[in-house]
Structure formats: C-alpha cells, structure tokens
Structure 1
Amino acid sequence: MTHIRHLSVVLVTATAVGLSACASDPNRDTKRGAAIGAVLGAVAGHQVDGDKGRYIGAVVGALAGGAAGNYMDKQRKELEQKLAAEAARDELQIVQLSGDALKIGVASDISFETNSATLQSGALNTFAKIANVLKDYDKTVIHVVGHTDSTGSAQYNQSLSERRAAAVSTFLASQGVPPSRVREEGRGERELLIRTGDNVNEARNRRVDIIIKPVIEGQENQAWTPPPYLGG
C-alpha cells in the first residue's frame, strides 16, 4: 500500500511537470512522456535486480563501504547544527545507530494535535530543515516510522501511527525529497521508548522516527530493509 501511495505521488508530480510546458510547444507530448518516464524509472528503484539481489535506480549511485561512515558523520553534524534549537528544547533527538544509520526522533506533541495526523504549522519549519539536509545527501534511504503511547486501543494506535508517518513522508516530498527514497510505516504502541503499562499517557512514546540509512555498494538491499526495534 505504501508503495502504491508513493507511485501516485510521483505520477502526479510527473504529470504536473509535463503540463507545465507551453501549450504551443510542438514537442510538449514528447516532453511530458519523458518526464513521466523519468519518474517511473526512479520508482522502479523499489524493484530488486534478480541477478544481484540489489535495489536499483532509487538513489543516485552508492557509497563505497569505507566511505559510508564519513558520509553519514558529515550528515549527522549538519543535522545537529541545523536542528540545534529544536534539540535544546527537547523537541527531537539525533542518535547514531548501527550500520552507520542515523535516527531523528521527533516528539509528536510538537508535530500533531491530540488524535490528529495533520502537521501543526509550528512543526513545518522543523521538518523543512530536515528535508533540506536530506536532499543534499542523496545516497541514503529514509524510513519514516510513527509511534504512539499505550492509551487507546492497539488498533486505533496502529492507524494513527501510520497516518502520522504518511503526513511526515508527504511533507518531505513537498520539500523536494524524492518519494522514491522514502519508506513509511506505523508501529503503533508496540515499540515504547519509555516502557509503561496499558493506557499510560507518556508523551515521550508519541513520536515519529526518521531513520536515515546509507546505500552501500554491494549492500543496497540493506538500506531498504525496515529499521530494527526502535523502542527503549
């Protein structure tokens, strides 16, 4: 379902690009077809090269194994610099994970109203800063994972976490992050950052995690693998 939603987004984008050509341009149909074809080529990056077991086409090139650490360290430092104010207000945390991956954990309370999956206006600037850095480091796959606390039913929390992840993913796309690089999922109340019992209103468990995984030559499929357990 996520893949289908991403396909719809990029098809709309490609169509808009094609239609922006001047109506009097005799080559407009060719240009429109080329634009849509290029975007579909990017979407094909979610397909696996059967001979090599690799995901292909979704990102620009891949990193040599020895270069991944420096590449991700540079990205982490830039994120920390751009998001220093938010980190000082405890609105987010940037954490180094195994495999040179990075995690930006953003508090849901500053992003969404209670029981809402609509991004608050005050959060847009934060996610725009994140998007601007992600665009500059295009040899990565971005996983957007939504979480909730343990209040309410598990079924409702699962749906809410999915809708919030989708809202963040859509906003990143609106800021120029290619949808072909983004995967989204909700994990409901299954991965609590602060372990609690049922029906506990714990703000720190309400969050959206953005996991940034490097695409390493020969190990491209690992970048697309969903992040491991993200709870505490």
Structure 2
Amino acid sequence: MTETPLWQQYRQQIESYRDAQLNFDLQRVHEYTKENGWNVDDHEAELPPEQPGEPQAHGSWHAACAVLREYRFPPPDLITGIFIPDQPLEQRIMLLRGTFLGFTFYFGVKIGGVIDETRQTEHGTERIWGYNYQTLQGHFERGQIDFSIVKIIETGQVLFRIHAFSQTGRISNPIYWIGFKLFGRHLQLRFARDAMKRMQTLVQEALAGVPSQTSQQTPIQSTANNPEAAEQLAEVVEKQ
C-alpha cells in the first residue's frame, strides 16, 4: 500500500501559513549582528569538484542544486521540510517538522528569495544558485537562513554554503522556552554540521547513480499518535 505523500497529509497546515507574517522585521536586517545579540553564522563544505568552466550537465554542481531545491539535505532525525511540490520555489511555504527534547514541533517558513547568478569575488568567478527562507509567526526562532551551491569557474571547486542570522523567538510555553534557551544553539550548530555532511553524501550518491529519496517521502509520525504534537500544531494554526 502506497503511503500518502507528506505534502498531502499536511496540505491544510501548509496553506494556513500562506498569509502568515514574518516574526522579525526585514527593514532592520542591518541591526541583526552579534553585537546586538543575534547569532550570525557562516558554514561551508566542499563537494566533489568539476573541471574548470561552467557547471557540467551531470556534474556535482547540478546534483547539489537538485538536493537543495528538494530540501533533502537537512538531517531527517532533526528537521523535515514539507511543501507542495508543484508550487514555484519562489512561492514555497514549508512546514518544518522538528524533533526537540523528545517532542515533535511544527514551524512555518517561507522562501524569501532565490539567487541564480554569476559574480566576481575574491575567490574568482562564482556561479551561484540557491535560496533563503524566513521564519513565520509561531517559530521558536526568528531570522533568515541562506543556502547556496557555488562553483568557482577558474578552479572547478564546488561548495555548499550556509549563511544565517537568528535569535530566539517568542515562546509562550515556559518549559519550551527554557529548553530552547539551553539547547537551541546546540541544535542550530548540529543542523549546519549534519546538513553539510548529508549534502556531501547525497551528491556523491547522485554522481554514483544511487537512487534518491526526496524529503517528501521521509517517514513522519502522525500527530494523531502524538497528543503533545497535535496540541502544539493546533495552537500554531489558530494563531495565524
């Protein structure tokens, strides 16, 4: 029996975020610095290189872009992204399923922008593709995270980069607030570390011809079997 895709199971919850507002002010991004109490992170991982020049049709850069587009790189035991696959990336709303302190939580994020360009940098000519997503009301964090796949044209080097600025958001439940204050930063760093490793593995598998599984097929525990998660999801949806 074929399991119903996650995006169909959670379509109503995804759509509930369609008109949700960001939980931070985009007009004040210049203020979101370490000096002002924000976490600002940059991570980079090397992927299998290519020959110098434009990205190869079946090479590392294109394989990584496919993994990134499908949001398959996050560690599935920590984060699963659920989205309607036939909607344009620029309009994507994702329901993030997070596992934290033995509970299952659901958060909304939206794609804030897509980058597809070639630019001159100190490293050389970089061919870049990627996107960012931004946190919506109800998220335990507030901020933005940028993901990009980069090829340095002159050398053939291919990179996966993550840039983020974030801060703990409004958490009404005091137990969750304490838990996130104690462990939230650790989870952030673990997410980046594991995402880098998983991206490397998935790209290597793609180049070797190993069939992939999209994030939309990743098994997930139904909220019907988790009263705590069901209650939390209902509270978030009601606030939209």
TM-score range, shorter chain: under 0.3
Q: Which has the higher contact order (CA 8 A, sep 6+)?
A: 2
